[in-house]
Amino acid sequence: MLFAFSVAPTTTEDATASMSEAVAEAVRVVRASGLPHETTSMFTTIEGDWDEVMPVIRAATDAVLAVSPRVSLVLKADLRPGRSGELRGKVDRVEHRLQHGLAADPGGGTTDGDDDEVVAS
């Protein structure tokens, strides 16, 4: 299962309104978890089961709360029990389609029954 989240302070003492210090603390928590993860400019995605991932997201949120009295958390999950390696697998399947000119079926799915969400990056 994949869990993408964004956690950020709603206030900052930085005159430029930079949130990087607080966000870095959250990312440190994720990296220390040992779970597969990827951080992009807007979200961090972690792969694992509910019981593995939710404490990490909470600890990351707590790390940001330690530097700000109010925090915003956005969470999105792709719940597909029994699958693993999807942190790269979903992207790899889209890249494969792009490289080989494979098209989606008219119904919005793909011709091989794969129902992955496509996200522009």
| pLDDT tens-digit map of 10-65 | 887 767 767 888 899 999 999 999 999 999 999 999 999 999 999 999 999 999 99
Segment holding 71, helix H or strand E: strand 71-78
pTM of the entire predicted model: 0.77
Alpha-carbon torsion, ordered 106, 108, 110, 113, to 10 deg? -110
